[in-house]
Structure 1
Amino acid sequence: MAFVILTLLPSLLYGDVFELTNGDKVEGNIVREIGDLVSIRKLDGSIVTLDRSEIKNIKKSSTPLDEYKKRADSVKDNDLTGQIDMAKWCQSRGLDAQAKVHWKMVLNLSPDQFDARKALGYVWIGGDWYLAGSKEAKNRQKELDSTPAEELPEVPDELPLPEWERTKVNPLPGLPPINKDTTVIILQADEKMGRTKVESSGLKYQLNRMGGKVRFAEGDVNKASHVLKVKIRCFFVRQQDFYGAPIANIFQGEATMELLERTPEGKLKRLHTSKVKLPFSASTRRPKEVGLRYTYYVTLEAVSSRVSKWPWLKRKGAKPLPAPE
């Protein structure tokens, strides 16, 4: 932590109070003296240059930066709660530059931390964070706004419990054991429903339904010969109105998939890549959680179906899985 602070504020670790002949006060540190000119870096980072005759008195006084140095030195880089507290403390003292440093460290530890995203100017649009007002944010919002409500598949009235929730012990007992001819593909998944990480993922279950001489499993990506990266986002898009009356909630499931193979040189090269996008509609009387859950279920089916049809997997004996209706 000390390195970050020293890099950011090399001359602001200790602050003085400069009492001026006109009665004003300037808090900061002397950064340059040339003849009778004295340059002072103020607490907000700006620099003011004064004639020495304008300075009546200099008091060595504790400033927010002195307290900041003490507090920051006591917080570890990997202390999420400590970094959040430091960022909020800096904001309350007007130390905006320092607060920004700590909010960025919060995001390194917790990428979806709401207060940090808000403080750094991010907005949540369609399953991901975007800088407010950026070209990417505008394009993403425009894309979502163009999703029609007409002729979209509807979320069914009843959602059956998915297979991976029913069979926790051995979800696929019919698969043959892994042997020397089996290629183990390490699964690297990033799944969210709304802003929440999926707690009970069905991705591995769905993928392993294709069988053949491949198995999808968790493991160390750095040691894997093959890696499947999957990013899934299921989110509420908007409420559809008809002459001011709400008629439907629009949901969408999106996924990107990438199959990688390690070369003899140790680098990962891409074998296949695909994307899926599935919009749905549901009555506004139904809880949004139900719509999100169904969207996630069907998105998983679409992902596994698309992956099972990749030529590399078909050569490994994987059977094509049906796409969701």
Structure 2
Amino acid sequence: VVEVNLGVGAGNGSAEVEEEVDEAEMRRIEYGSVPAFALLQSRKNALADAAAMQHMHSVSEHAEWWQYVLEYSKTIGNLLGNQDSLPALMIEDPRAILKVREKPTSLKAAWELLEIFYVDKELHSWLPERLVDWLADYDSLLTKTDGTVYFKLNNFQKKLINLQIVENDDDYWNGLSAALSVGWLDVVVNMLRFHGSYQLGQMDNRETENGLVEAVAVLVSTMPRMRPDLPKGKLGQCCKTRPDFIKAWEKWRGQVSKLECSAFWIQCSHQKTRDGLKNLLHIMMGNIKDLTAATSHWLELFASHFLYIRPFTVV
């Protein structure tokens, strides 16, 4: 049994102010949930009668029961709000790290977490990726003094406008490590492209350095991911079966190790770039010390552990 603190925060490193659920909205949710609950109870009673006739000990032994519970959970989840909704006709800033979303609510976050661990039995084969998705939506609600991944990225976003050379800033590399540790691959690749070696006037003088940055970006963007599908705009190599995932992972991890041992690092004169990129490689190689340093909340560390240390685990 573990505890997840969700809610309004204040001060340095605390959670983002969440979108409050007012009385009218709560009444809408309560009234809207009644038909769904009545349908679930009706189905439960029908299955209970069937279980008694078939000498089963409980309704939960019926495969249909968990499908009914999942349908109920999805219905309630929709009543609690759509976390993917974005403003219409929004023009995305190429230097934006975090996408603009509706502010999350603790109610929706807690409901989805319960669904992940207790309701959706089909999720167990790709639990790590489901946690990645959950953190992308609700990491801003996790309270922690030292700051979550969201907090680090949000802070860096605020100072990015005044930075001329991002690779000289420690928060840039800390944000990259934090985002990679929880599998936010699109964020990592986007931030790597902020690196000064990509500027037209720098390409010739920093060719080796830029080559290393790009090599890491390619590895991040091709990381194998065990999940049914990849949403639009999300990076990674989607593997739908366990054998395909294991094969792709072993090949990819070998490429990561090969780059980590490359002789080109000696030719990289910018120390922060060299150290920062090496740290990203160590995270992809499952170095527990670097993963622990990059995360601050147990859910973040939990997700990173499954992603990089025990990727083949079936819950």
Q: TM-score, normalised by structure 1?
A: 0.23
Q: Which has the higher helix share?
A: 2
Q: TM-score, normalised by structure 2?
A: 0.24
Structure number, greater radius of gyration: 1
Higher relative contact order (CA 8 A, sep 6+): 2
